[in-house]
Amino acid sequence: MIKRARQRFTFKSAKLQDLMDSGESTIATALGTVNSTLVRPRRLRRGEFRHTTVRSSGGSGSGMTPLRSADPDAIRRRISVQLTAAVISLVGG
């Protein structure tokens, strides 16, 4: 059980790092796909985190979260929660 939880955490951490590094990430699961983009905040412009979900069963959804803080740790915490929620939404919840 612990090994499986660590694998999930490592997978999520890797995808989150991809998003932080390149501004784009895709998570593909048996239930569907989550595509996400990150635009970091600038001095005169807020940033945003956008995601789209496409379920294997045919449903889809999307969301956008504004980002005001330029602090990388604050951005990471904020998008980690949103990315987790997007993956969970593939179940239909």
Q: What is the pLDDT of residues 21-79, one digit of tens each?
A: 899 999 998 899 999 999 999 888 999 999 999 999 888 999 999 999 888 899 998 99
How much is the pLDDT for 12?
Answer: 64
Domain extent at residue 31: 26-93
Instruction: Flag whether 6 is in a domain.
Output: no
Tokens representing 69?
A: 């803080």
Contact 7, 13 (CB under 8 A): no
Any residues with CB less than 8 A from the CB of 86 and at least 6 apart, and which?
A: 34, 36, 51, 53, 63
- Number of domain units in the chain: 1
Instruction: Flag whether 56 is in a domain.
Output: yes
Give yes or no for residue 92 having a pLDDT over 80. Answer: no
**Between 45 and 10, the higher pLDDT residue:** 45
Instruction: Flag whether 88 is in a domain.
Output: yes
Give yes or no for residue 1 having a pLDDT over 90. Answer: no
Instruction: Flag whether 18 is in a domain.
Output: no
Reported as half-sphere exposure (CB side, CA atoms, 13 A), residue 13 has a value of 6
Instruction: Flag whether 9 is in a domain.
Output: no
Amino acid at 91: V
Contact 24, 15 (CB under 8 A): no
